[in-house]
Structure 1
Amino acid sequence: MTRLFSMAALAAASTATAAWAQEGLEIIGTPVDGAVGFQPAATELATDLQWLDGMILVIITIITLFVTALLAWVAIRYNAKRNPEAASFTHHTPVEIAWTVVPIVILVFIGAFSLPILFKQQEIPEADLTIKVTGYQWYWGYEYVDEGFEFESYMLGSPATLDENARPDDANVTPFVLDEHMEAKLIDAGYSRDEFLLATDTSVVVPVGATVVMQVTAADVIHAWTIPSFGVKQDAVPGRLAELWFNAEREGIYFGQCSELCGFYHAYMPITVKVVSEEAYAEWLADAREEYAGIPRDRVLASN
């Protein structure tokens, strides 16, 4: 609890850095009301998964249509009116062989495509950037392992992001309620009411085209770190360190959610990832080192 409230000031102080990293970025990975299908794929992993889903859907559709047509044909061709005397045979070897062999062939065919995609997800490549993410009730902690700093990320509008001293209008904001005051807070952070329950006060910022390895764990109960547009999802289990990886191919803002029921405020621990150019990332990184690690910007720039 102390950790929760102690971060309120830090969350307010980091607003400038978070807003800066959002300038000029398109919101890409987000749910859309009334839409059907996947969010736009931003990684090779997501592209592979969506292609595999489409291929399996075609196979399932063909099987469903075939079985439906077969049932209809049997019902019409072999009903009691057309066949007053029922057949008495009990076996049909060719048919039994067919309904055993054909499903096996179909499953082997699907496995030939799905297993390489699964192995690609599980084989973690050498990282250009390593980030440790820790799930808490109910927010995320991020540590840039090689950079020596860490920060925490709360949903915009949660109590930890409200600071009347830094933003007087926060006195009018009701946590977790979308009204005109909450909308104003979202707009101040560079978002709109459409990003309510999705936007966070601080974001994971990564360079486009970089191989990012996320080390995933939790501090209390099981959570799950998920970004649909990246095609990644990994349970965060206390006492265990799991890994996932992605390589974002397109600059933009992507949202995710905790995807493992983790308690009362499970619905209020979203994830925001901003994919930026290498130049923008280098500038953000210098600011982040100064803000979170206390390293003066002139020293950061000199070390680079």
Structure 2
Amino acid sequence: MVTFKPYAYFRLLVVFAVCLAVSVLFGAGVSWAQGMKIGLQPPATDSAERIYDFHNMLLYIISGIVAFVLLLLLFVVVRFNAKANPVPSKTTHNVLLEIVWTIIPVVILIIIAVPSFKLLFKNETIPKPEMTLKVTGHQWYWDYEYPDQGDIAFSSYMIPSDKIDHSKGQKRLLSTDNKVVLPVGVTVQVLVTASVNDVIHSWAVPAFGIKTDAVPGRMNHTWFRIERPGVFYGQCSELCGKDHSFMPIEVWAVEKPVFDEWAARSKEDADKAQEWLQAEHSPADTSKGSSE
């Protein structure tokens, strides 16, 4: 008859865990995060900045909770194992303890809720817009319209992988043939919808802190104010069919005079306006890195 030895089993488990940890540490070199690029994209709007601040606050709270629970588990394992506590307690309840573990989670939720509601209020309150961008989702591309700039309109498709030109800074699955060009320091109202008889899409640009659903027959709206020039990427963030992964968003944020010149040229020839912008005022790619 084989006798079950729990301590021998536990030692074997510890040895296995140590070997696994060592192998992971040695094998992680090739996939290690480069340049600490493990956070969120650098924010380009005040809305994104507020979201990132809230995210960082939550990270501290969650880390504290995880550390507390881990220490509590270790304390229980050491203090109440069979060797240290041969006669187990038969305590069924503790009024003080039950009050504490009810009040503390409530306090934590209040601490989270107050800044959360403030964030929602600020990001959903649209100030007086200085210009409007209309976005229409299709399977599987985007239409853009600039009603305040003389009804400039164009479609934006992903550049196929075999046509990517790295010398122009193009990126696989992210670069588009026609870029969304927007001015820096201007409050932009974005109207988002989807074409009739289409499906739901979602227009999302992480660096702007926005993600708005494009629903057929419904006009949703959001806003942002870009604070610095650069190239910013997004993607359709609502599963919309077989080519869902091929609906990138590429935004070029430029200074207001450059935008005005681009808009004037786009009224005559949109393709030549894009070529002019690429050649003369191509902004730097600021999508790399992580926020502090």
Counterpart of 1:198 (choices 162, 165, 174) is 174
Q: Paired residue for 1:232?
A: 210
- Offset of 1:33 from its aligned partner? 10
Query: Residues of 2 paired with 1:208 and 1:131: CA distance?
Result: 14
Counterpart of 1:258 (choices 236, 241, 260) is 236
Tell me which amino acid in the other structure corresponds to 2:41.
Q
Query: Residue 124 of structure 1 contacts residue 243 of structure 1 at CA under 8 Å; is this kept in 2?
Result: no
Q: Paired residue for 2:144?
A: 142
- Offset of 1:87 from its aligned partner? 1.5
Aligned: 1:209 with 2:185: yes
Tell me which amino acid in the other structure corresponds to 1:289.
K
Q: Paired residue for 2:279?
A: none
Q: Tell me the percent identity.
A: 46
Root-mean-square deviation (CA, aligned residues, Å) is: 1.7
3-state SS in 1 of match to 2:102 = helix
- Offset of 1:96 from its aligned partner? 0.4
Query: Residues of 2 paired with 1:34 and 1:87: CA distance?
Result: 48
State the TM-score, normalizing by the size of structure 2.
0.77
3-state SS in 1 of match to 2:110 = helix
- Offset of 1:224 from its aligned partner? 0.6
State the TM-score, normalizing by the size of structure 1.
0.74
3-state SS in 2 of match to 1:146 = helix
Q: Paired residue for 1:165?
A: none
Aligned: 1:75 with 2:77: yes
Counterpart of 1:118 (choices 105, 117, 120) is 120
* Unpaired segments ≥5 residues, structure 2: 1-33, 271-292
- Offset of 1:222 from its aligned partner? 0.6
Tell me which amino acid in the other structure corresponds to 1:206.
L
Q: Which has the larger radius of gyration?
A: 2
Query: Residues of 2 paired with 1:120 and 1:69: CA distance?
Result: 38
Query: Residue 152 of structure 2 contacts residue 263 of structure 2 at CA under 8 Å; is this kept in 1?
Result: no
Query: Residue 45 of structure 2 contacts residue 227 of structure 2 at CA under 8 Å; is this kept in 1?
Result: yes
Segments ≥4 residues shifted beyond 6 Å:
none
Query: Residues of 2 paired with 1:183 and 1:77: CA distance?
Result: 62
Q: Where do residues 148-227 of structure 1 align in structure 2 (5 Å cutoff)? A: 148-157=151-160, 177-178=161-162, 182-184=163-165, 187=167, 190-192=168-170, 195-219=171-195, 220-227=198-205
- Offset of 1:86 from its aligned partner? 1.8
Aligned residues between the structures: 234
